[in-house]
Amino acid sequence: MPAHLHPMSEIMEMLVRRGFIWQSFEIYGGMAGFIDYAPLGNGLRRKIEDLWREFFVINERSVEIDTPTVGIEDVFIASGHAEGFTDVAIECSSCGRVFRADHYVKEKLNLEVDPTVEAVKNVVQEFNLKCECGGDFKEPEHINLMFETKIGPGRGKKGYLRPETAQGIFIAFKRLSDYFRNKLPFGVAQIGRAYRNEISPRQGVIRLREFNQAELEFFCHPGEKRHPEFDRYADDVVTLVDKFDKEHRVTLREAVEKGIIAHELLAYFVGKTRRFLLAAGIRDEKLRFRQHKDDERAHYAVDCWDAEVLLSYGWIEVVGIADRSDYDLSRHTQFSREDLSVFVPYDEPVKVKRRRVVPNIPKLGPAFRDRAKKIAEELEKLEDAGDEVVLTINGEEIKVPSEYYEIREVEEEVHGERVVPHVIEPSFGLDRITYAVLEHAFDTDTVDGEERRVLRLERRLAPVQVAVLPLLSRDEFVEEAETIAGELRENGIYTELDITGSIGRRYRRYDEIGTPFCITIDHQTFEDGTVTIRDRDSTSQVRVKKSELVRIIQELLNSGKSITEFGEVFRP
RNA sequence: GCGCGGGUAGUCUAGUGGUAGGACAACGCCCUUCCGAGGCGUUAGCCCGGGUUCAAAUCCCGGCCCGCGCACCA
């Protein structure tokens, strides 16, 4: 079906033609699941990243790091991602449906099967297992949704392209905790690529095999899932769809009080995420937060809220805000044997009275010889003891009479406890957000009886911020335009100079790519040193002095101010 | 992965076996003009591979890509 029949085709056509996104590997026929960020799309995505940094790094108690996109196998065994791939799948040779073998066997035969190719193969043969459609299954195979690679020459060491940026943060946790001088809570962000070898990439940029994530891992005390700045968003009214599909329009404070959102910290990030998306130009009425159902959550999550945006594809998940509890740190502790806990001091040291068993070493030594040291260690572990203690040392039962130890009442000061932090993770799909911003900004209206297409991007996100347009292509007009464009560029403003085509045609070009302001050099420029600034959304113009142009443009770009605050409205 | 539909310049499109056409866009020159003006000119295309045929954009097979449905989406 030609793309133009699809409802979102008009914008897709524009995005490709004007240089926002292109199909990757196009001259070789393309490959599903990969896109090139063309000049304008790359500019837009970078600016969205910068906006994200402002919200989730600069204005959060967070830092940003950057870790490899290739990970060694151990990481993903610990994280649980590798487990998902050792799952065995069976595919029907007639209808083509693919099932997870262990689930299918459990459901049809009520039988637990080891998730190995051999075991599944045996079960399928033994019970002559058929597909629901009656077809035979092909040979069972491993599902593999991570890209596999080899590190080093020859057989190398097995590695995977990361399926999320988060693991790089968890792995560096000890260093990060030290960096924050072991004081919770703190956040660590990472912006970068991640990879999933999707079975069937679809829907333009919505499901890619290589994609851009911005993730924040916010580490907190398990008993203190609050945020000191919750009040900033507590009164924001949000649309929530809970796991029972019940919709709520409530403030975040109410959502926490009523128990719709599990705790304040999740609610805080729901609020912050919403403000970020609105700042990027997502429409509030096309934004909602949906709670994952119990069977929908990832293996690591205990609660999860997705930000969903209404697009021509329907409601699309663009952010996942998950409470990953201590899952990741505990798993990496277990697999790496590194202690990834944090010492949390109490406000006041607590005095604890307890009984201790104190071994009498001088007596133990001669009596028990080479076993004495071990016995002493075991005795110290005991909370209490009677007249005689029976210990098992190296499989040997040893009776230790009370003369070899004494019971003392001691008072100890406990200054704090070691806890494995919990982590709240807002995880952003930047490609989807970038596309959503474009779709929500895309508009048409009528100017002088003609329809025009205009991209109403937030000013600060526009990839081309200013276009300088000489009214005529005569040398003196072009030279003047070059001078002005040069000055804007020296001040860090993304500026295009465009001298071809009629002025109207050029205005349309920049409307279509969302350039908020056009500077026009006309005859009057040479008389009184003024130029006009044209506003994309209203198409109206004001005259300003050349000497003040840079300052005015900068102020316009960093505010929502109207051009009419800066000069006389100009009507040619 | 399965099923259905599709793939012709940058974009959109005409073309059912016989010399691949148009519109818009882009670029150059002229005009010198404030909202896709006009004139002249230029660039540029049959997704890839095989087959049938004297001859394939067109018919057949396979692949790739795009859209939709199913499955998958940690």
DSSP string, A378-414: HHHH-S---SEEEEEETTEEEEEEGGGEEEEEEEEEE
Q: Which residues pair with A72 in a beta bridge?
A: A159
**Strand B close residues, chain A 230-269, CB < 7 angstroms:** none
3-state secondary structure of A137: strand
The DSSP string of A453-471 is: EEE---GGG-SS-EEEEES
The DSSP string of A56-86 is: IIITTTEEE----SEEEHHHHHHHSHHHHHS
Tell me which residue of A339, A338, A343 sits closest to A418, measured CA to CA: A343
**Strand B close residues, chain A 385-444, CB < 7 angstroms:** none
Amino acid at A330: S
Give the residue from A260, A294, A328 where a domain finishes. Answer: A328
Nearest residue to B28 via alpha carbon and C1': A500
The DSSP string of A217-263 is: EEEE-TT----TTTHHHHT-EEEEE-TTS-EEEEEHHHHHHTTSSS-
CA of A1 to C1' of B55 (A): 30
Judgement on whether residues A306 and A214 belong to the same structural domain of the protein:
yes
- Residue A122 pLDDT: 79
Q: What is the pTM of this model?
A: 0.87
The DSSP string of A420-445 is: PPEEEEEEEEHHHHHHHHHHHHEEEE
Nucleotide nearest to A194 (CA to C1'): B74
Q: Could you tell me if A81 and A71 are in contact, meaning their C-beta atoms sit under 8 angstroms apart? A: no
Helical (H) or strand (E) element with A189? strand A186-195
CA of A2 to C1' of B19 (A): 28
Nucleotide nearest to A572 (CA to C1'): B34
3-state DSSP percent of chain A in helix, strand and coil, to 5 = 35, 30, 30
Judgement on whether residues A62 and A93 belong to the same structural domain of the protein:
no
In a domain, A490, yes or no: yes
In a domain, A298, yes or no: yes
In a domain, A247, yes or no: yes
A454 Cβ nearer than 7 Å to chain B strand: no
Judgement on whether residues A66 and A95 belong to the same structural domain of the protein:
no
Judgement on whether residues A486 and A523 belong to the same structural domain of the protein:
yes
A474 Cβ nearer than 7 Å to chain B strand: yes
Judgement on whether residues A206 and A252 belong to the same structural domain of the protein:
yes
State how many domains chain A has: 4
In a domain, A449, yes or no: no
In a domain, A147, yes or no: no
In a domain, A433, yes or no: no
Tell me which residue of A189, A206, A105, A107 sits closest to A425, measured CA to CA: A189
**Strand B close residues, chain A 542-571, CB < 7 angstroms:** 570
Q: Which residues pair with A425 in a beta bridge?
A: A322
Nearest residue to B30 via alpha carbon and C1': A473
Half-sphere exposure of A289 (CA within 13 A, CB side): 31
CA of A29 to C1' of B46 (A): 15
Judgement on whether residues A278 and A172 belong to the same structural domain of the protein:
yes
Judgement on whether residues A259 and A194 belong to the same structural domain of the protein:
yes
- Residue A299 pLDDT: 76
**Strand B close residues, chain A 271-330, CB < 7 angstroms:** 296-301, 313
Judgement on whether residues A191 and A257 belong to the same structural domain of the protein:
yes
Tell me which residue of A135, A124, A200, A215 sits closest to A169, measured CA to CA: A215
Judgement on whether residues A197 and A303 belong to the same structural domain of the protein:
yes
Q: For chain A, what is the radius of gyration of the CA atoms? A: 32
- Residue A30 pLDDT: 87
Nucleotide nearest to A30 (CA to C1'): B65
Q: Could you tell me if A93 and A138 are in contact, meaning their C-beta atoms sit under 8 angstroms apart? A: yes
Q: Could you tell me if A270 and A430 are in contact, meaning their C-beta atoms sit under 8 angstroms apart? A: no
- Residue A4 pLDDT: 33
Nearest residue to B12 via alpha carbon and C1': A4
Q: Supply the range of the domain harboring residue A113.
A: 88-142
Judgement on whether residues A103 and A208 belong to the same structural domain of the protein:
no
CATH of the domain at A240: 3.30.930.10
CA distance A127 to A3: 47
- Residue A252 pLDDT: 97
CA distance A21 to A299: 33
Token code pair at residue A223: 């008993």
In a domain, A442, yes or no: no
Q: Could you tell me if A311 and A6 are in contact, meaning their C-beta atoms sit under 8 angstroms apart? A: no
Give the residue from A270, A298, A328 where a domain finishes. Answer: A328
Nucleotide nearest to A80 (CA to C1'): B74
**Strand B close residues, chain A 16-75, CB < 7 angstroms:** 16-17, 23, 29-33
In a domain, A452, yes or no: no
CA of A26 to C1' of B54 (A): 36
Number of H helices, E strands in chain A: 19, 29
What are the C-alpha distances in Å from A132 to residues A90, A98, A136, A471?
A: 12, 11, 10, 70
ipTM of predicted assembly, 2 dp = 0.90
- Residue A267 pLDDT: 97
- Residue A5 pLDDT: 35
Nucleotide nearest to A512 (CA to C1'): B36
Give the residue from A416, A443, A473 where a domain finishes. Answer: A416
Judgement on whether residues A174 and A293 belong to the same structural domain of the protein:
yes
What phi, psi does A392 have (nearest 5°)? -110, 110
Nucleotide nearest to A509 (CA to C1'): B36
| Ranges in chain A, pLDDT < 70 | 1-8, 84-87, 92-98, 114-116, 132-134, 142-143, 359-360, 362-364, 366-382, 384-385, 388, 391-396, 400, 402, 404, 406
CATH of the domain at A542: 3.40.50.800
A534 Cβ nearer than 7 Å to chain B strand: yes
CA of A26 to C1' of B66 (A): 12
- Residue A391 pLDDT: 67
Nearest residue to B10 via alpha carbon and C1': A17
Judgement on whether residues A324 and A352 belong to the same structural domain of the protein:
no
What are the C-alpha distances in Å from A110 to residues A65, A106, A127, A129?
A: 47, 4, 12, 12
A95 Cβ nearer than 7 Å to chain B strand: yes
**Strand B close residues, chain A 502-531, CB < 7 angstroms:** 502-505, 507-509, 512, 520, 522, 524
Protein-proximal positions, strand B, CB < 7 A: 1-3, 5-8, 10-13, 25-28, 31-37, 47-48, 63-74
CA distance A363 to A21: 81
